């Protein structure tokens, strides 16, 4: 089956700890994206990568970091510097940077207490 997987579905962490969210795709897509969704705020872009070993900040990158060492993987680290990390995190991919059609993973709900 082709698609995007995110793990885990639910994640709980204590304040002050870094946590890494996984995103893997087997669609052979070049571009990958991370979004954050809060109630009443839609999706906001955190980071995106259009090619391996390259990534750009989105609209709300502060407190997050990413890497893109392999085409199929784009992990997101939520650092202790992120003030309000509790949210629903969605990963997406598209065939290339100019493609409007993004395919979304099932998401990870992160709760930090």
Partner 1 sequence: EDKVVQSPLSLVVHEGDTVTLNCSYEVTNFRSLLWYKQEKKAPTFLFMLTSSGIEKKSGRLSSILDKKELSSILNITATQTGDSAIYLCAHFGNEKLTFGTGTRLTIIP
Residues near partner 1, by CB under 8 A? 31, 33, 35, 40-45, 48, 50, 58-59, 90, 97-98, 100-102, 104-107
- CA-based radius of gyration for the chain: 13
* Residue number, 15 or 100, with CB nearest to partner 1: 100
Establish how many alpha carbons lie within 13 A of residue 30's alpha carbon, considering only the half-sphere containing its beta carbon. Answer: 9
Cβ 69 vs Cβ 53: under 8 Å? yes
Q: How many angstroms separate the CA atoms of 32 and 39, rounded?
A: 23
Least separation, in Å, of the C-beta of 15 and partner 1? 25
Q: How many angstroms separate the CA atoms of 1 and 22, rounded?
A: 18
* Residue number, 80 or 104, with CB nearest to partner 1: 104
Least separation, in Å, of the C-beta of 39 and partner 1? 9
Least separation, in Å, of the C-beta of 16 and partner 1? 28
* Residue number, 80 or 86, with CB nearest to partner 1: 86
């Amino acid at each position: 089956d082709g698609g995007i997987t995110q793990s885990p579905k639910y994640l709980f962490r204590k304040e002050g700890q870094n946590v890494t969210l996984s995103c893997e795709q087997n669609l052979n897509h070049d571009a990958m994206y991370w979004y954050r969704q809060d109630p009443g705020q839609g999706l906001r872009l955190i980071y995106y990568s259009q090619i391996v070993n390259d990534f750009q900040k989105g609209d709300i990158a502060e407190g997050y970091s990413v890497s893109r060492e392999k085409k199929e993987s784009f992990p997101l680290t939520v650092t202790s510097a992120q003030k309000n990390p509790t949210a629903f995190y969605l990963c997406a991919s598209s065939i290339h940077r100019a493609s409007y059609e993004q395919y979304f993973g099932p998401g990870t709900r992160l709760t930090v207490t």
